[in-house]
Amino acid sequence: MTALQASGERIVHGTCPHDCPDTCAMLITVKDGVATKVRGDPAHPTTQGALCTKVSRYLERTYSPDRVLYPMRRVGAKGPGQGSWERIGWDEALDTIAERFKAIASDDPQAILPYAYSGTLGLVHNFGMPRRFFHRLGASLPERVLCATAGRTGYNTVIGAQIGTDITHFADARLIILWGTNPITSNLHLWTRIAEARRKGAKVIAIDPYLSQSAEKSDWHLAPLPGTDGALAFGLMHLLIRDNLIDRDYIERHTLGFDALAARAASFTPEVVAGITGLAVDDICQLAKDYGNEPLSAIRMNFGMQRHAGGGNAVRAIACLPALTGAWRHAAGGVLLDNAGAHAVDLAALDGRHLLPDPLPRTVNMAQIAQALTELNDPPLKALFVYASNPVAVAPNNGLLRRGLLRPDLFTVVHEIFLTDTCDYADIVLPATTQLEQFDVHRPYGTLYTMLNEQAIAPLGEAVSNAELFRRLAARMGYDEPCFRQSDEEIAGEAHIRTAAVNASLDFDVLRRDGWQRIDVPLHYAPFANGNFPTPSGRCEFESANAAAQGWSAVPEFIPPRESALGDPALAKRFPLMLLTPPARHYLNSSFSSVESLVRDVGAPWVDIHTADAVARGISEGDRVRVFNARGAFEADARVGDKSRAGVLVAPSIWWLKKSADGENANAVTSDGLTDIGRGATYYDTAVEIERAG
Ligand SMILES: Nc1nc2c(c(=O)[nH]1)N[C@H]1C(S)=C(S)[C@@H](COP(=O)(O)OP(=O)(O)OC[C@H]3O[C@@H](n4cnc5c(=O)[nH]c(N)nc54)[C@H](O)[C@@H]3O)O[C@H]1N2
Ligand SMILES: Nc1nc2c(c(=O)[nH]1)N[C@H]1C(S)=C(S)[C@@H](COP(=O)(O)OP(=O)(O)OC[C@H]3O[C@@H](n4cnc5c(=O)[nH]c(N)nc54)[C@H](O)[C@@H]3O)O[C@H]1N2
Ligand code: SF4
Ligand SMILES: [Mo]
C-alpha cells in the first residue's frame, strides 16, 4: 500500500522489472507527482534494502532527456545516422499500424512477427495483453530462446520442473560451487548469502574460463575450456561412483536410471576429462573429493554455461550431481538453475492462447531472426513489431540482422523507452513507460516471493505501457473479445485466482500492504529432501523417457562446443580463440547503455586476452584490437593478463552499437546456431581471431 508521510511524500511499493534473478522490492518516494528517490525495501527478505548499481540510478533513467516521449514516424532512409524522426499523434500511429497489419494479415498474418523479450518480466506487460494481441492476430510465434531454454529444458528432464535450492539457504552451505556464473554481476543478492557462508567457513569454488569478480573472491578458481562443463560433470560422477562418495539410499529411493548413468560416466576418467576440459587431473580429483565429502553442498549454475552447442546436456549432467550425493536432503544442498517453477501462475489465462488459430501459426526462432528476415519464405516476414527488446544489440549475428532490417519492403515498429540501435531501423517508434509509470505483478525466477509493482508516477509525455498499447491496437483492429478490455489489475488478478489451489494463501491485500508475499513453500525449503520430484516417475530422472521421446539421449551426454578444436578442427584452425561475451556489471543486457553515468563508469568496450595469446599476436595492454570471424568484426581495447584462460577471449557485454567507436558490438561475430536441447541461443560458442586494429 502507498503510505503518505507527513512531508507530503508518498512511498510506493515497486518491483524491479528487469531480467535478473533477484527481482528486488523497491520503495519509490513520490512528491507532487515526481519520483524523488528509489531504494531497496529493507523489509523484503532477499532485497534487504539494497539495489544494484544499475537500478539505484533508476531516476536518472526514468527522467533521462533521451526518453522517447511521443510516437514518431521515420522520414528518409533507415540505418544508423540516416533519415530523421517526425512527431505524429497516437491516432495516426495506431491507424498506420492497424492498416498495414490488416493488409498483410488478409494475405497471411504469419508474415507478421512480434519480437519481444526481457525489457520487463511483468506478468501483465510481458505475458498479458501483448501476447493476447499477437495470438488473436495469428502472427508467427516467436520462439523465446535468447536466454535460457537449453538449460531449463535440460534441467526439467532430470528434475521435472524449474525448482531448485532457495537462494536464502546458500548462506548455510558448507561448500558452494559457482558453475558458470558470476553472481556479483548477475545475482547480487545471492552473492550476499555466499559471502555470509564464507564468513561462516564455507569453501566457495568458481568454475569459469574467466577470472570473474566472483571467481576472484572465491576460495578456488577452476578454468575449464568453454562448453566442456558436461565432461567435467561426468568426470565428477565417475570419481564419486569409483570412490563410493555417493548416497546409495537416496539413489535407491529417489532416482531412476543410476546404472545407465554410471555406464555413461565410466569412460570419463580424470585423464579423459583433463584432455577435454584443459584442467589438471589433480584438480578434477580434488573437486570430486570436496563435493563428495560435503553433504551441505550447493551448486549455483546460471545460464552462461548453457549458451553452447551442448548446453542443454551440460545442465542435465550437473543437475544429476546432488541426487548422487544426496545433497538434496538438506535445504542448504542441491542445485539452483532457477526457481520459476516453484511459482504457480496461470500463464494460459494471461497470454490468451485460446485465441490462437487452428492450426497453430509457424514459429520463428528469436536467435535466428537474422536468417528469418533474409531467408524465410512462405510467407516472407513483412512486418516486425519489436517491444521490450533491442535485437540489433542483443541478437546473434547482428550484421546479417541489420541487412535484413534494411529490406525496403519490411515494416518495422518499435515500442521503446529510448532510441536504441533497433530504432535506427524502425518505420515507427512508439513511446514506452518505465516501471515507475505502470502497474504490474511479478513472478520472480530466482526468489520465492510474489511481487507487486504499484504505479508511482504518471506516464511521461505520451508514453504508454505494453498492455495499454495493445489494448489500443486491439480496438483499432476490431477485436471485441472481453479480454482486450481488461484493466491491468484485472489481468493480474486473473492469473492468480486461477492458481488459488496451489498458491492458496496469496492475498492481494497483503501484496498491496507489503509489496510482496512469500509463496506457499516453507521457510526451511528443501524441495527434494524426500524425493517427490515433479517428473513422470516422481524420481530424479538420470534416465528420461521424455528426453528419449524428444529425440535426445535418454541419459545425459557430453556434446562438445561446436566452434572449437573438438567440434570443428578446420574452423578452429582459422579462428583458434573462443569468445565469451558475458554480462557487464554496469549494464543489464543492452539496457542501461542509455544511462550516461553508467556508460562513463564502464568506459569503452574491452576484451580480456591471455598474455600468451596476446604476445603471439603482438598485442599489448591498451591496444585497439579487432575481433573477427566470417560473420563480422568488432573493435575493443585489449586488456592483457591472465583473467581469461589461454585460448579464450572475454568481452563483457552488451554495448549499444551506436556507443562504440566502430558502430559494432560483440554480436557482430556471435553464433546464431542452436543448442542441443531447447533450440536455444549459442552466443558463447563462437570461434574468432584477434588482431591489432589497423
Ligand atoms: N549486471 C547484470 N546482471 C545481469 C545481466 C546483465 O546483463 N548484467 N543479465 C541478466 C540475465 S538476462 C541473465 S540470463 C542472468 C544470467 O546471466 P549469465 O549469462 O549466466 O551471467 P553470469 O552469471 O554473469 O555468468 C556468466 C559467467 O559464465 C561464464 N561462462 C561462459 N561460458 C562458460 C562455460 O562454458 N562454462 C563455464 N563454466 N562458465 C562459462 C562466463 O565467463 C561468465 O563469467 O543474469 C542477469 N543479470
Ligand atoms: N553477446 C551476448 N548477447 C546476449 C547475451 C549475452 O550474454 N551475450 N545475453 C542474452 C540474454 S541472456 C538475454 S535475456 C537477451 C536480452 O535481450 P533483451 O530482452 O533485448 O534485453 P535488453 O537489451 O535489456 O533490451 C530490452 C529493451 O526493452 C526496453 N524496455 C524496458 N522496459 C520496457 C517496457 O516495459 N516496454 C517496452 N516496450 N520496452 C521496454 C529497454 O529500454 C531495452 O531497450 O540478450 C541476449 N544477448
Ligand atoms: S537488476 Fe537485479 S539486483 Fe538490480 S535491482 Fe533489479 S532485481 Fe535487484
Ligand atoms: Mo537472460
Please indicate, yes or no, if residue 130 is contained in any of the structural domains. yes
DSSP letter for each residue of 195-206: HHHHHTT-EEEE
For the CA of 125, the closest atom of ligand 2 is 35
For the CA of 17, the closest atom of ligand 3 is 6
For 270-318, how does the pLDDT look when each residue is reduced to its tens digit (9 = 90+)?
Answer: 999 999 999 999 999 999 999 999 999 999 999 999 999 999 999 999 9
Please indicate, yes or no, if residue 43 is contained in any of the structural domains. no
Query: Are 241 and 350 in the same domain?
Result: no
For 666-687, how does the pLDDT look when each residue is reduced to its tens digit (9 = 90+)?
Answer: 999 999 999 999 999 999 999 9
Q: At what angle do helices 311-325 and 229-242 cross, to 10 degrees?
A: 20
Residue 1 has pLDDT above 50, yes or no: no
Query: Are 266 and 328 in the same domain?
Result: yes
Residue 596 has pLDDT above 60, yes or no: yes
54 C-beta closer than 6 A to ligand 3: yes
Please indicate, yes or no, if residue 522 is contained in any of the structural domains. no
- Average pLDDT score, the chain: 96
Nearest ligand to the C-alpha atom of residue 386: 2
Query: Which distant-in-sequence residues (6+ apart) come within 8 Å of 118 by Cβ?
Result: 18, 19, 126, 146, 147, 388, 389, 589
Please indicate, yes or no, if residue 7 is contained in any of the structural domains. no
Q: Which residue has 505483478 as its cell numbers?
A: 441
Q: Do 658 and 668 touch, CB atoms closer than 8 A?
A: no
What is the domain-level CATH number for residue 615? 2.40.40.20
Q: How distant, in Å, are the alpha carbons of 53, 250, 442, 621 from that of 166? A: 24, 20, 17, 42
What is the domain-level CATH number for residue 317? 3.40.228.10
* Nearest residue by C-alpha to atom 14 in ligand 2: 147
184 C-beta closer than 6 A to ligand 3: no
Mean pLDDT of 11-31: 98
pLDDT at residue 597 in the model: 84
Query: Are 93 and 118 in the same domain?
Result: yes
* Nearest residue by C-alpha to atom 24 in ligand 2: 591
Ligand 3 centroid to 42 CA: how many Å? 14
Q: Kindly report the number of other CB atoms within 10 A of residue 604's CB atom.
A: 13
Please indicate, yes or no, if residue 660 is contained in any of the structural domains. yes
Query: Are 634 and 665 in the same domain?
Result: yes
* Nearest residue by C-alpha to atom 3 in ligand 1: 186
Confidence of residue 412 (pLDDT cuts 50, 70, 90): very high
pLDDT at residue 586 in the model: 87
pLDDT at residue 501 in the model: 54
Ligand 2 centroid to 387 CA: how many Å? 10
Within 13 Å and on the Cβ side, how many CA atoms surround 24? Answer: 28
185 C-beta closer than 6 A to ligand 1: yes
Query: Are 484 and 582 in the same domain?
Result: no
pLDDT at residue 495 in the model: 78
Query: Are 351 and 472 in the same domain?
Result: yes
Q: Which of 5-14, 195-204, 482-491, 532-541 has the lowest mean pLDDT?
A: 5-14
Please indicate, yes or no, if residue 448 is contained in any of the structural domains. no
- How many residues can be counted in the chain? 694
User: Rounded to an integer, what distance in angstroms lies between the CA atom of residue 155 and that of residue 313?
Assistant: 9
Ligand 1 centroid to 60 CA: how many Å? 25
589 C-beta closer than 6 A to ligand 2: yes
Whole domain around residue 292: which residue ranges? 165-337+536-549
Please indicate, yes or no, if residue 208 is contained in any of the structural domains. yes
Confidence of residue 626 (pLDDT cuts 50, 70, 90): very high
What is the domain-level CATH number for residue 353? 3.40.50.740
For the CA of 23, the closest atom of ligand 3 is 7
- How many domains is the chain partitioned into structurally? 3
Query: Are 195 and 266 in the same domain?
Result: yes
Query: Are 222 and 319 in the same domain?
Result: yes
The type of residue at 241 is: I
Mean pLDDT of 150-162: 97
pLDDT at residue 594 in the model: 76
pLDDT at residue 502 in the model: 59
For 363-378, how does the pLDDT look when each residue is reduced to its tens digit (9 = 90+)?
Answer: 999 999 999 999 999 9
Ligand 1 centroid to 212 CA: how many Å? 10
% pLDDT > 70, the chain: 98
Please indicate, yes or no, if residue 26 is contained in any of the structural domains. no
Query: Are 292 and 408 in the same domain?
Result: no
Query: Are 576 and 685 in the same domain?
Result: yes
Pocket test for ligand 1, best of 121, 126, 149, 181 (most atoms within 8 A of CB): 181
Query: Are 497 and 374 in the same domain?
Result: yes
Q: Which of 18-27, 177-186, 576-585, 590-599 has the lowest mean pLDDT?
A: 590-599
> Which run of H or of E encompasses 580?
strand 577-580
For the CA of 19, the closest atom of ligand 1 is 12
For 548-592, how does the pLDDT look when each residue is reduced to its tens digit (9 = 90+)?
Answer: 999 999 999 999 999 999 999 999 999 999 999 999 988 899 998
User: Rounded to an integer, what distance in angstroms lies between the CA atom of residue 230 and that of residue 559?
Assistant: 7
Residue 143 has pLDDT above 60, yes or no: yes
User: Rounded to an integer, what distance in angstroms lies between the CA atom of residue 561 and that of residue 579?
Assistant: 12
Instruction: Locate 115 and state its grid cell.
Output: 519480437
DSSP 153: H
Q: Do 540 and 256 touch, CB atoms closer than 8 A?
A: yes
CA angle 370, 154, 203 (to 5 degrees): 110
For 207-228, how does the pLDDT look when each residue is reduced to its tens digit (9 = 90+)?
Answer: 999 999 999 999 999 999 999 9
390 C-beta closer than 6 A to ligand 1: no
% pLDDT > 90, the chain: 91
Confidence of residue 497 (pLDDT cuts 50, 70, 90): low
Ligand 2 centroid to 20 CA: how many Å? 11
Ligand 1 centroid to 683 CA: how many Å? 11
Confidence of residue 3 (pLDDT cuts 50, 70, 90): low
* Nearest residue by C-alpha to atom 3 in ligand 3: 52
Query: Are 469 and 355 in the same domain?
Result: yes
For 425-451, how does the pLDDT look when each residue is reduced to its tens digit (9 = 90+)?
Answer: 999 999 999 999 999 999 999 999 999
Strands 577-580 vs 648-650: parallel, antiparallel or unpaired: parallel
Pocket test for ligand 1, best of 24, 53, 144, 208 (most atoms within 8 A of CB): 208
Confidence of residue 625 (pLDDT cuts 50, 70, 90): very high
